[in-house]
Amino acid sequence: MAINWFKYSAPTTFYGLAGKLIPWFAIPAAILFAVGLYIGFAVAPMDAQQGEFYRIIFIHVPASMLSMFLYMVMAGYAALGLIFNTRLSSMMASAVAPTGALFAFISLWTGALWGKPMWGAWWVWDARMTSELILLFLYLGFIALHASIDDPRRADRASALLAIVGSVNVPIIYFSVKWWNTLHQGSTIKFSGTSMHIAMQQAMFTMLAACWLYAIAVTLARVRSIILERERHTKWIAELAEVRS
């Protein structure tokens, strides 16, 4: 039996589906966080050059990757909303933005914490770090622009343009360590493989999966509130059990 995926592009049907999906992402996220931290701190060996400080990698790399991926997801949803005028796409873009901004903040924060013992400085105007800071500003700009326009449909269109234009920054972040001479190390994980110890890889990929699941769960929870707010005058919202209770 074929599933009609377009059915779930309507806020009416997606609202219920999102509610059912949240525990399926949130619970595995919590388990994977615990497993990732255990492997990262109890199983993975100490690094020969960086000692214990390298263990920041298990939160820094997943947060950095998520901040970039989530921006592309946000820009993709914003573009869909702009081109096809689909309400849910714009709502999803608005729901992804705060989580992406928080991951960008965690990436910068943990990067500074790692930079101090390794480079002797909390911050340098390095290409990778500066472009990641611009990413955080783009997220904040998207959120602020959206919040500054009263009409939600106009806010969707204006912020979508910012998200799409800002997406040019994501490849700049990724390739910055190749294009310019930077203090920041090159990619740890490459398509050709990695030189990391197996336990370090396991910890990092477990934490990456946990961060992904967490981001999906929290985005779904946020989009339910956005749907509820924007569709508040509709009949189907009035008939919801949680509204009637």
Partner 1 sequence: MSLDIWMRENPLTYVWIGSYAVAMLVFVIEIAMVRHKRTLTLQQVRLIHQAEEE
| Chain positions contacting partner 1, by CB under 8 A | 37, 41, 51-53, 55-56, 59-60, 63, 98-99, 102, 105-106, 109-110, 113-114, 116-117, 214, 218, 221-222, 224-225, 228-229, 232-233, 237-238, 242-243
Query: Among residues 16 and 117, whose Cβ is nearest to partner 1?
Result: 117
Query: Among residues 148 and 234, whose Cβ is nearest to partner 1?
Result: 234
Taking the complex as a whole, the smallest distance from the CB of residue 238 to partner 1 amounts, in Å, to 5
Query: Among residues 149 and 221, whose Cβ is nearest to partner 1?
Result: 221
Taking the complex as a whole, the smallest distance from the CB of residue 236 to partner 1 amounts, in Å, to 12
Q: Are 163 and 74 in contact (CB under 8 A)?
A: yes
CA angle 120, 124, 128 (to 5 degrees): 120
Taking the complex as a whole, the smallest distance from the CB of residue 149 to partner 1 amounts, in Å, to 19
Query: Among residues 1 and 241, whose Cβ is nearest to partner 1?
Result: 241
